[in-house]
Amino acid sequence: MTIVKNLTNFPFAAIIGQDEMKLALQLNVIDPKIGGVMIMGDRGTGKSTTIRALADLLPDILVIKNDPFNTDPQGLSKEYETESIKIPMVELPLGATEDRVCGTINLKEILAGGKSTFEPGLLARANRGILYVDEINLLDDHLVDVLLDSAASGWNTVEREGISIKHPAKFILVGSGNPEEGELRPQLLDRFGMHAEIRTIRDPKLRVKIVEERIHFDQSPQLWFEKYENEQQAIQNRLLTAQQNLKKVQISKEFQLKISEICSELEIEGLRGDIVSTRAAKALTAFENRLEVTVDDIQRTIILCLRHRLRRDPMESINSGEKILSVFQRIFSSEKI
């Protein structure tokens, strides 16, 4: 499948570093039920660039022509005119209102007997795609709650004056922010499947390489895409194969029990941590083109799945990632790591 190039966006295959963020995003593409990604890190670390690059990498989707909800025509009883479109990548403006996000019901039109009763919002546009919210930690908690509800259920419901309209809203929710500007409430953080932390690269040689690559890309984006075309195609094929093989991936009962032991020892509230850790390990297994989850698959994903679910203790000197890894290694000590 040919990749349609957006020459304003940096190619995903050319992004240097930030492996944790890239892995979390790709695993959510393989299994959207993981529940999205929260990316926290310093300004200017390529968060927006990476997310746009991933959206460009993904294959086109088939939709009903001119449909505001990007409806999949396959399996419908009625035949519609169709078209292929680039996978939707919707960026939520920081000052967006609930009406802009969810859509509005035109009560005046309804009372007048008209048909144009609903004006779709950003959730409709994001259906079957990616919804990206930069500086999500500055967004109103109620609006974050609305986004998380839609992402989890796959539906958006708008109610006004006793009138209710519901439409599909299946999307991968990606939020990003700078921790210096405040964190999300723990209740909201917990509902994100994964939490990636990114930091400014300190190695001077690597920084110079990143700067040079960006300058060269801006000077001749077409040549840059041609340079990475094979790598881009390989990543796309790998993701598509992983999506197809995900249902075949198996994880042993013993490993599932040990994941739950880790969550229990870390005092993770609820069962989201157990579920997401299992899903992420299976998605990584599929990404690696295997069908049996290994200890390494769990080790590479469990910190991403649990770090934002830990109870905050300001007196602790150990960071969340080290704490999870320590418990993981103790519980899996009998296994070959």
DSSP assignment of 234-299 equals: HHHHHHHHHHHHGGG-B--HHHHHHHHHHHHHTT--SSHHHHHHHHHHHHHHHHTT-SB--HHHHH
This prediction has a pTM of 0.89
Please check whether residues 35 and 170 belong to one and the same domain: yes
Catalytic residue at 272? Answer: yes
Q: What is the pLDDT of residues 291-336, one digit of tens each?
A: 999 999 999 999 999 999 998 765 555 678 899 999 999 999 866 5
Is position 186 within any domain? yes
**Domain presence at residue 88:** yes
**Residue spans of alpha helices (H) in the chain:** 19-30, 47-57, 98-102, 107-111, 122-126, 141-153, 186-189, 204-219, 221-245, 253-265, 272-287, 295-306, 320-331
Domain membership flag for residue 122: yes
The enclosing domain of 252 has a CATH number of: 1.10.8.80
Residues 88 and 26 placed together within one structural domain of the fold: yes
Domain check: are 176 and 318 in the same one?
A: no
Q: How many domains does the chain have?
A: 2
Q: What is the CATH number of the domain that holds 79?
A: 3.40.50.300
Of 136, 169, 198, the domain-final residue: 198
- Could you tell me if residue 208 is inside a domain? no
User: What CA–CA distance (Å, rounded) separates 184 from 175?
Assistant: 11
**27 assigned to some structural domain:** yes
Residue 254 shares a structural domain with residue 191: no
pLDDT in tens, 32-64: 999 999 998 877 777 888 998 999 889 899 999
Residues 175 and 264 placed together within one structural domain of the fold:
no
Collapsing DSSP to helix, strand or coil, 196 comes out as strand
Residues 264, 190 share a domain: no
Question: Of the residues 125, 191, 272, 279, which is catalytic?
Answer: 272
Please indicate, yes or no, if residue 337 is contained in any of the structural domains. Answer: no
Domain end position, chosen among 198, 213, 240? 198
Q: Are residues 269 and 133 located together in one domain of the fold?
A: no
294 occurs within a structural domain: yes
255 in the same domain as 175:
no
Q: Residue 298 is part of which domain span?
A: 248-331
Residue 162 lies in a domain: yes
Chain segment 110-157, per-residue pLDDT in tens: 566 656 578 899 999 999 999 999 988 888 888 988 999 999 899 999
185 and 266 belong to one structural domain: no
Residue 171 and residue 92 share a domain: yes
